[in-house]
Amino acid sequence: MEMVPGVHRVEKLRGGNAYLLADARLTLIDTGMPGGAPRVLSYIRSLGREPEELDHIFITHGHMDHAGAAAELRRLTGARLVAHRDEGVRTPDGALVLRGDPNGEAGLLVRAMSRLGRFEPCPVDVAVSDGDLVPCAGGMRVVHTPGHTRGSISLLLEKRSILFAGDAIISNRDRLSRPLPFGTDRAESERSLARLAQLEFDVCCFGHGPALTSDAREAVAALAASPPKTPLWQRIVFRRGDLARFGVRMFKE
C-alpha cells in the first residue's frame, strides 16, 4: 500500500511494519518475521521493480518482528544491511551480527517471540551512529533513539519530512502510545521520545499500527508531553485489545 508517494507499507507481512521506499533505487526499512522474504520480493515485483534494485535494508532494531527476515532478504537481493553499531553482537573478528536478542539478554519479549520463529543471525554491513546520513532515498538521517533496545534507531527522510520511528512509539488505531516497557530502559525511552518530538516532520511511520500522514510532529509532541500516570498493570488491562491485535500479527497479517 502506497501511503505517501514513493513510500509503501508491504502488505500481508507477519510481525512489525516493513516499508519500501521506491526511488531511482529501492530501500527497505525493517523486514517482519522470519519467512517473510518471499512476500517482500513479490511486493517489489508487483510494483514492476526487481529485487536486485534493493540497495539498503535498514533495521530499526533487532527484535524478531522487525529483523526476522533480514538475513534471507540480504542473501536474496544483495542489499547492504544497515543497523546501529550498538544493536548486534561482535564476533571475535569484530564483525557486527544481529541475533534477535538486541539487549544481550533473553527478556520476556525476546523469549515470547523466539517461540514464533527461528531467528537467522544476520551480518550488519553498515554499522551506523547517531547523525549519520546514508546516501539512499534522497538521504536517510540516522537518529539514535535507545530505550526500547540499546541500538534502536529512527530514520528521517529530511527532504520529504518523513520519520520512521520503529518501536520508539506505537501507533494504535486511535492514538499513539509508548511501547510496553518489557526489557526497556524507561528513562532512556523518554529521552528518545522527547528528542523525536523536536525533529521536523509531517508524516510518521511506526513499527506497529497505522502511519500518520499529516501533522505527525504535533501528535508525537503531545505524547512526549504526557507521561503515563497509571501503573503498568492498569495500562495492560486497558490496552488488552491492542495487545491481542499485536499478538495476532505475529502469526498472520
- Residue from the set 7, 8, 16, 160 that interacts with Zn ion by CB under 5 A: 16
Asked if residue 182 lies in contact with residue 235, where contact means CB atoms within 8 angstroms, the answer is no
Residue 48: Cβ-neighbour burial (10 angstroms; 0-12, 13-18, 19+): exposed
Which CB atom, from 138 or from 243, has the smaller least distance to Zn ion? 243
In the complex, minimum distance from the CB of residue 149 to Zn ion, in angstroms, rounded to a whole number: 7
In the complex, minimum distance from the CB of residue 188 to Zn ion, in angstroms, rounded to a whole number: 14
Q: How far apart are CA 79 and CA 82, in angstroms?
A: 9
In the complex, minimum distance from the CB of residue 148 to Zn ion, in angstroms, rounded to a whole number: 5
Which CB atom, from 22 or from 113, has the smaller least distance to Zn ion? 113
Task: Say how many residues touch Zn ion, by CB under 5 A.
Answer: 5
- Residue from the set 8, 56, 63, 144 that interacts with Zn ion by CB under 5 A: 63
Asked if residue 76 lies in contact with residue 53, where contact means CB atoms within 8 angstroms, the answer is no
**Which spans in 107-152 are helix H?**
108-114
Which CB atom, from 56 or from 63, has the smaller least distance to Zn ion? 63
Q: How distant is the alpha carbon of residue 247 from its chain centre? A: 16
Angle between helices 37-46 and 70-77 (to 10 degrees): 50
Which CB atom, from 44 or from 168, has the smaller least distance to Zn ion? 168
218-248: buried (b, 16+ CB within 10 Å) or exposed (e) per residue? ebbbebbeeeeeeeeeebeeebeebeeebee
CB count within 10 Å of CB 35 equals: 15
Assess 146 for contact with Zn ion (CB under 5 A).
no
In the complex, minimum distance from the CB of residue 85 to Zn ion, in angstroms, rounded to a whole number: 18
Assess 88 for contact with Zn ion (CB under 5 A).
no
Assess 87 for contact with Zn ion (CB under 5 A).
no
Among the residue ranges 40-48, 58-66, 99-107, 122-130, the one whose residues contact Zn ion (CB under 5 A): 58-66
In the complex, minimum distance from the CB of residue 5 to Zn ion, in angstroms, rounded to a whole number: 26
C-alpha cell at 92: 571475535
In the complex, minimum distance from the CB of residue 193 to Zn ion, in angstroms, rounded to a whole number: 15
Asked if residue 60 lies in contact with residue 166, where contact means CB atoms within 8 angstroms, the answer is yes
Assess 65 for contact with Zn ion (CB under 5 A).
yes
Residues 160-219 that bind Zn ion (CB under 5 A): 167, 207
Q: Where does this chain bind Zn ion (CB under 5 A)?
A: 16, 63, 65, 167, 207
